[in-house]
Structure 1
Amino acid sequence: MEQKKNGTWVSWNENLKHDYKSLYKVTTEEELREVIANNDKIRFFGNKQSSADIAAGTAALLDMKSYNKIVSYDYNAKTITVESGVILGDLLEAIEKVGWCIPCLPDINTITIGGALATGTHGTSGKLLSEYIASCRLVLADGSVKEINKEDNLLNAVKVSLGMLGVLSTVTFQCEPEYTLHIKERPENDNQWLPKVQERLKKHAFLRILWLPHTNNGYVITGDKINPDTEVKENLGPKFLKHRRTASKILYKYSHVFPWITAVANKLLYRGFFSSKKEHKGSLYQATVTKSRGSTLELAEWTVGLSKFPQVFAELKEEINKWSNNSFIHIPMDVRFVQKDEAWLSYAYNEDIVTMGCVSRNAATADTYEAFKTVENIFLKYGGRPHWGKRFAAKDAQLTKIYPKWEDFKELRAKLDPTNKFLNPYLAKLVNAKKAVNAEKVTA
């Protein structure tokens, strides 16, 4: 085990910074248990890509990236067991080699498994990544380990928990046979793509829409399962499309000073980078997952019931098109779809949902990005839920109204972690945590 003394933890976009006294890198479950048991307060992190302040802020920190082995395969059951510090891309490459897949993948592959699960990471047209947990081992606040499987009622609380119930040690994923997608991409006017959402969800195995604020257009991406040998005439569009992030960086450079510039920039970016049709094929991972971030961002994401989305979208579009406010939104807004589940803190708890991402490409000036406030206010009005790993202002009072199991989760958290070992200041406010019980009293 490696230990580093006295330093500063910095998030990937440098918006969050916290001093620490001890930083640990562990390579075995025994080391993981020892570090957790021997520290009064501790948080843990992977690649630091969360926009929410959940990963640091305590005297002791755990860097999980060194706890990253692929433990075993069960070829009959189609399961793979990994340590929670494994990078998602490494997991996906490992299961593709044996002809498997996880049917719903997030936008990027650079996050750790533990971080992805803790924050409710998802893809589109399927379920949250956490829904594919077959079993896991959870290190509790006292350093003991609890093994949890599908038959355990605790699993629905642990699946999405922001690391407030314990630290995931190993995770076993249920995989499925790999399949090939025929991907088609094209621009469509808002009046075209919006009415077709539910129809397309039934028709296609994959649906994602990149909405382009201030342009009245979206960029529709559909995927259909095909035989791997089916010939598809590949069209990846003009070569200059690879320069979209560079062009965005230039066009948005001063948008924090003059927000209205965004509306002009979006129209230029739409014409240059979202007006082409594309067509290709590949596995879900090959065809749809971004393999890297070109630049730092600040992100918010909100979800709402599928049936409410047209109304939410109409109100959002009307509001941001008013020149009387400064809610000019950088493109694209990522519109994705998640099927209902039973995880307590899932965005899709008991209902099919639509998720809508909101991005500021000027990460350093995100605090003055009015769009985050506008999006949050509109989604909250319709019972929308925030992505746990991204930026939002809602706290306990709002969350208890929109998450039916929020109070149950808080009660369980206090029971499993009575001394608030796994809470940093941000999380303590989020759950309105009561003063920690004295550790000696608990033991007694």
Structure 2
Amino acid sequence: MELKTCIVVIYSMIVVVFLSSRGKCSPPGPVVECSSGLTDCVVTNSYGAFSDRSICKAAQAVFPSTEEELLASVANAVKKQQKIRVVSKHSHSIPKLVCPEGDSGLIISSKDLNHVVSVDESSMRMTVESGMGLKDLIDSAAEHGLALPHSPYWLGVSVGGMLGTGAHGSSLFGKGSAVHEYVVGIRLVVPASQEEGYARVATLTEQDMDLNAAKVSLGVLGVISQVTFQLEPMFKRSITNVYKSDFNIENSIVKFGLEHEFADLTWYPSQYKVVYRVDDRLSINSSGDGVNDFIGFQPQSTALLATTRAAEEAKEATSNGEGKCILSAIQVSTILSTGAGLKNNNLLFTGYPVIGYQNKMQSAGSCLTSSENGLLTSCAWDPRIKGLFFHQTGMSISVSRISEFLSDVKKLRDMNPISKCGLELYSGILMRFVKASSAHLGKEEDSVDMDITYYRSNDPNTPRLYEDVFEEIEQMGFFKYGALPHWGKNRNLAFDGVIKKYSKSNEFLSAKNKYDPQGIFSSEWTDSLLELKDKQVTVSKDGCALEGLCVCSKDAHCAPDRGYFCEAGKVYTDARVCRG
């Protein structure tokens, strides 16, 4: 097939893949499955794979639908000294946060704890149960003329999950973009003495210092039952995406974040381009009924997803970086020409600005809510199909150091621009703004948060094309520039020594010991994060660096039999990367 014809075919495939949301979709499957009744269970995440690809088992699972049932479940487990972890309906955390210790633990699913408890319109406060999804939360608030000012961009997260991992949107205005900054109360079910019935409800308000521990909890204090949010009057947003050269991005990024309340940037480094999202608040009376239906979160054809994945695998196998560049250039052009999923009238993108109500503009995820169609379409990463499979690095670098970091990434890019094309197939580098937090495990400083998504091999022993480049960026961020990791994303190495980066970690550990002194809600993974019981997050074994389980210190940590050896970084020379 001639190159021109091939490009037209690929372009058509991408258009169909990304515009297939007008059909129906198969929502994601369950993340907790038990072999007999509610015993002998396996828990996973929405991607079907944890960072180390381990299988997480539990002796039992429960699905409480009221606080009373939740209290009884915790009490029964505490009485038996059974370890507990909590999982949401869709379980979008990549690390092993939902895994109980060993295979004798209890999984508590919050999926049926999804009700509005109360709304006080005069104080603009709303209390909801912890399993409520983000979509239901913001739409329920909208029914009362209220808005959650900030949220993650993905609708498939729960209230408890957002607080467990410190989820956020993008803003340097006011209290910033972290959801937990708008939490004014939490009801927490925690272990108790025999005299108290083995479990009790701890009520935390703004007057309780422990609220700052519970706001970003990692699930180690207890089970969040209910959360009270301080909301705002409903407002509208105006979004215009501006496509520019990435010239001087390192010196203009913070200024841009201070000019627009909901600003973010998406960087396509191999194309030397960046999309500046000019995103501001408007009066409720402003004209416009737009919707954010982000392309990557729309239902997508499973057949074409499989074809797209196979095409990328072929380019990986043949070290065809130029082929990835062709695909990424077409894909970025397609996304931009369709407004990246923004719609002016709930049906079509007709041009900028796109103006709409906050609850319709702040997040997206239509692949979650479409009707079942037998997996003809699905969310792109659904493990039931041969679709996307990826690593995701989420790091926050202080605004005082972001210029240096981006300059270093540019130097690395300029050595071989082709090496960055692969990440542009996964929407480039998304850069959002997050303010310093009141939470003990929240952001220490005003920061720029970067989401970098990139190809992951189905075989953990197979190195990736340009493996060294992505590893150097990852290590550069976390080790040279002291980045804080997103608790719900990242590979193991990102969490190495992480608790030492938090100035109030001792206050968090004191709260943990206060509410769960026996570690009923702790696991091997959370103990590793908190550096308890001599646990470590990194794993040293042959090939461990390929999946980010370690930083290589010898060739065997890479894939020497396939020509990948442990070598120094090219810009950040302290990095140790697998280079082929």
Q: TM-score, normalised by structure 2?
A: 0.68
**Identity within the alignment, %:** 24
Cross-structure match for 1:80: 126
Q: Do residues 412 (structure 1) and 511 (structure 2) align?
A: yes
Asked if structure 2 preserves the Cα contact closer than 8 Å seen for 1:215 and 1:270, the reply is: no
Q: Do residues 377 (structure 1) and 475 (structure 2) align?
A: yes
Instruction: Give me the whole-angstrom Cα distance separating, in 2, the residues matched to 1:19 and 1:259.
Output: 39
Instruction: Give me the whole-angstrom Cα distance separating, in 1, the residues matched to 2:399 and 2:121.
Output: 36
Cross-structure match for 2:43: 9
Q: Which moved more, 1:149-158 or 1:407-416?
A: 407-416
CA change 1:226–1:267 in 2 (3 A) is same
Cross-structure match for 1:109: 155
Cross-structure match for 2:446: 352
Question: Which of the pair has more CA radius of gyration?
Answer: 2
CA change 1:189–1:435 in 2 (3 A) is closer
CA change 1:407–1:320 in 2 (3 A) is farther
Asked if structure 2 preserves the Cα contact closer than 8 Å seen for 1:13 and 1:298, the reply is: no
Asked if structure 1 preserves the Cα contact closer than 8 Å seen for 2:528 and 2:534, the reply is: no
Instruction: Give me the whole-angstrom Cα distance separating, in 1, the residues matched to 2:288 and 2:503.
Output: 46
Asked if structure 2 preserves the Cα contact closer than 8 Å seen for 1:71 and 1:83, the reply is: yes
Instruction: Give me the whole-angstrom Cα distance separating, in 1, the residues matched to 2:129 and 2:109.
Output: 13
> What's the CA shift for 1:383?
1.3
Paired amino acid for 2:231:
C
Instruction: Give me the whole-angstrom Cα distance separating, in 2, the residues matched to 1:271 and 1:235.
Output: 21
> What's the CA shift for 1:412?
3.3
> What's the CA shift for 1:192?
5.5
> What's the CA shift for 1:146?
0.9
Instruction: Give me the whole-angstrom Cα distance separating, in 2, the residues matched to 1:233 and 1:52.
Output: 37
Instruction: Give me the whole-angstrom Cα distance separating, in 2, the residues matched to 1:242 and 1:60.
Output: 34
Paired amino acid for 2:85:
R
> What's the CA shift for 1:379?
1.2
For residues 260-306 of structure 1, what are the alpha-carbon distances to aligned partners after superposition, in whole Å with 9 as ceiling and x for unaligned? 35444333323333367752111233124122453115422000111
Q: CA RMSD in A?
A: 3.2
Q: Equivalent of 1:93, from 139, 143, 158?
A: 139
CA change 1:83–1:234 in 2 (3 A) is closer
Instruction: Give me the whole-angstrom Cα distance separating, in 2, the residues matched to 1:305 and 1:118.
Output: 22
Q: Equivalent of 2:70, from 15, 32, 44?
A: 32
Asked if structure 2 preserves the Cα contact closer than 8 Å seen for 1:400 and 1:407, the reply is: no
Cross-structure match for 1:129: 179
CA change 1:19–1:329 in 2 (3 A) is same
Asked if structure 1 preserves the Cα contact closer than 8 Å seen for 2:429 and 2:450, the reply is: yes
Cross-structure match for 2:543: none
Q: Do residues 167 (structure 1) and 223 (structure 2) align?
A: yes
Q: Which moved more, 1:45-54 or 1:248-257?
A: 248-257
| Partner SS, residue 342 of structure 1 | coil
Cross-structure match for 1:252: 312
Q: Which moved more, 1:366-375 or 1:39-48?
A: 366-375
Q: Do residues 52 (structure 1) and 95 (structure 2) align?
A: yes
> What's the CA shift for 1:384?
0.7
Instruction: Give me the whole-angstrom Cα distance separating, in 2, the residues matched to 1:292 and 1:117.
Output: 23
Asked if structure 2 preserves the Cα contact closer than 8 Å seen for 1:188 and 1:218, the reply is: yes
> What's the CA shift for 1:178?
1.1
Q: TM-score, normalised by structure 1?
A: 0.87
Q: Which moved more, 1:44-53 or 1:138-147?
A: 138-147
Asked if structure 1 preserves the Cα contact closer than 8 Å seen for 2:298 and 2:366, the reply is: no
What 5-or-longer segments of structure 2 have no aligned partner?
A: 1-33, 193-198, 340-350, 368-378, 382-389, 536-580
Q: Equivalent of 2:251, from 195, 219, 229?
A: 195
Asked if structure 2 preserves the Cα contact closer than 8 Å seen for 1:400 and 1:406, the reply is: yes
Paired amino acid for 1:423:
S
Q: Equivalent of 2:327, from 265, 290, 295?
A: 265
Paired amino acid for 2:358:
L
| Partner SS, residue 107 of structure 1 | coil
Q: Equivalent of 2:57, from 16, 19, 27?
A: 19
How many residues are paired up? 432
Q: Which moved more, 1:369-378 or 1:46-55?
A: 369-378
> What's the CA shift for 1:92?
0.5
For residues 122-163 of structure 1, what are the alpha-carbon distances to aligned partners after superposition, in whole Å with 9 as ceiling and x for unaligned? 000133101111111111133211110111111111110110
Q: How do 1:283-432 residues align onto structure 2 when only pairs under 5 Å count? A: 283-292=357-366, 294-296=379-381, 297-323=390-416, 328-330=422-424, 331-346=427-442, 348-349=443-444, 351-360=445-454, 362=456, 364=458, 368=463, 370=467, 373-380=471-478, 381-394=480-493, 398-432=497-531
Q: Equivalent of 1:179, from 235, 240, 244?
A: 235
